[in-house]
């Protein structure tokens, strides 16, 4: 599967790597995907109620974040990254 990132998405990922938050773009993307999964276990069936609910919830979260960013409601990057790292740490414990 190929995914094309927007210029803004690419810039965010490159900045995270540049500032030493992640060792590589792949690791930053892997972390983002783990955060999207959160506590929801996805079914292999893309039409399952759990998957469809997760997909809609994710779309809603992305749209809300986009609207907040356009209004200038931004968070301190260091605080956000600390929260994300904690979520990833918890997610890895669940997966392991």
The residue ranking higher by pLDDT, 38 or 3, is 3
In a domain, 2, yes or no: no
The pTM for the full model equals 0.39
* Domain coverage including residue 91: 8-36+45-95
Note the residue count of the chain.
Answer: 96
**Per-residue pLDDT, 93:** 78
pLDDT tens, position by position, 34-58: 777 754 555 455 667 777 788 888 8
In a domain, 30, yes or no: yes
Closest of 3, 53, 56 to residue 32, by C-alpha: 3
CA dihedral over 67, 69, 73, 77, signed as positive or negative: positive
Total of domains in the chain: 1
In a domain, 61, yes or no: yes
The CA distance from 16 to 75, in Å, is 15
In a domain, 1, yes or no: no
The full DSSP string for 34-84 is HHHHTTPPPPS-TTSHHHHHHHHHHHHHHHHHHHHHHTT----HHHHHHHH
If pLDDT is split at 50, 70 and 90, which confidence band does 31 have?
A: confident
Per-residue pLDDT for 69 more than 50?
A: yes
In a domain, 15, yes or no: yes
């Amino acid at each position: 599967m190929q995914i094309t990132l927007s210029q803004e998405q690419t810039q965010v990922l490159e900045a995270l790597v540049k500032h030493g938050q992640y060792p590589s773009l792949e690791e930053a993307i892997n972390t983002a995907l783990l955060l999207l999964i959160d506590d929801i276990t996805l079914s292999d069936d893309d039409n399952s109620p759990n998957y469809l609910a997760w997909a809609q919830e994710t779309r809603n979260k992305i749209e809300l974040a986009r609207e907040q960013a356009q209004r200038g409601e931004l968070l301190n990057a260091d605080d956000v990254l600390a929260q994300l790292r904690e979520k990833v740490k918890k997610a890895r414990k669940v997966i392991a």
